[in-house]
Structure 1
Amino acid sequence: MKLSSIRIITADIKRLVNFYEQVTGISFTWYTEDFAELRNAHSTLAIGSTRTLALFGGEKVAAAATNRSVIIEFLVDDVDAAYQRVRDIATEIVQEPTTMPWGNRSLLFRDTDGNLVNYFTPATAAAKDRNETGI
């Protein structure tokens, strides 16, 4: 089994896609006016409008802008440089760049729907090794 993607459901897809394009510097591919993806060799971040919920059983399946348990994480080359780029774009900076006990330097902020986003860079030898081996 292979994790394919993470999908965010939003009431304002254009705003959220624009936010992620700004903070990542990567353009999304739009498949319909209700669905877009940011793809790379390792992962996919999909964004769907609330109208797509009808395809999955209706609005009772998911609710936009209500996530309080998932953090969307991006491996970046330099968290401190990313912070300089993101700090004026993010809705809220939750935690400025900080080295975590497990060895990653981490920046935590919120997107326009209030979802938590973590930019991280392995900072210790153990974290770098873990990132390279995938463990």
Structure 2
Amino acid sequence: MTDIELTYCPITVDDMEAALGFYRDALGLEVVRDVANGDHHWVTLGLPGQPAIEIVLSQPGGGRSPEDADALHRLVAKGMMPPIVFRTGDLDAMFEKVSASGAEVLQEPIEQPWGPRDCAFRDPAGNMVRINAAG
């Protein structure tokens, strides 16, 4: 059996302060690192109770050509990137907290035919964020 763990999960954002307002303030993630490296800036966020996994917020231009950065920015803004999926023990409370932050609601909490009860938001950059009920 191979010993392997997920360490980083990248999320592309165009406005770091707006992204922090969503991921840190609305979702409750904790800033682990805030790194500036030349023109590139990224922030890693930790999930309470899961110290081995960090969400990495970075801008489209970080380490990419201007053409690639522009293409990635357009995909994110259209909501074309794969969804980011979180899980919580109290979906209704989390939905209320994130909704109150002003985040764009894509779907209120509902039972999905494939199993989980979940809801969905769009982060300030356009990424879809789904939140599943634990259990």
- Paired residues of 2:117 and 2:132 also in contact (CA < 8 A): yes
User: More displaced, 73-82 or 84-93?
Assistant: 84-93
Q: Does residue 1:112 correspond to 2:121, yes or no?
A: no
Contact 1:90 1:112 in 2 (8 A): no
Q: How does 1:46-85 map to 2 (within 5 A)?
A: 46-52=56-62, 55=63, 57-62=64-69, 63-64=72-73, 65-66=76-77, 67-85=79-97
Q: Could you say what the CA RMSD is over the residues aligned between the two structures, in angstroms? A: 2.1
1:15 aligns with 2:25: no
Letter of the structure 2 residue corresponding to residue 30 of structure 1: R
- The residue aligned with 1:36 is 43
Change (3 A) 1:81 1:91: closer
Greater per-residue strand proportion: 2
What SS does structure 1 have at the residue aligned with 2:67? Answer: coil
Residues 90/5 of structure 1: CA separation in 2 closer, same or farther (3 Å cut): farther
1:43-94 CA-partner distances (Å, limit 9, x unpaired):
3211012442xx2x42333423334141111110111111111112243111
Matched residue pairs, number? Answer: 120
Counterpart code for 1:38: L
Change (3 A) 1:104 1:77: same
TM-score, normalised by the number of residues in structure 1: 0.75
- If the length of structure 2 is used for normalisation, what is the TM-score? 0.75
What is the one-letter code of the residue matched to 2:34?
Y
Change over 3 Å in CA distance of 1:61–1:2 after alignment to 2: farther
Q: 19-28 vs 1-10, which deviates more?
A: 1-10
Report percent identity of matched pairs.
Answer: 23
Any gaps of 5 or more consecutive residues in structure 1? 123-127, 129-135
1:93-130 Cα shifts (integer Å, max 9, x gaps) = 111000112221101111111111111114xxxxx4xx
Residue segments in structure 2 that go unaligned for 5+ positions in a row:
none
3-state SS in 2 of match to 1:28: strand
Q: Deviations over 1:13-67 (max 9, x none)?
A: 1221221112222221233141111124253211012442xx2x42333423334
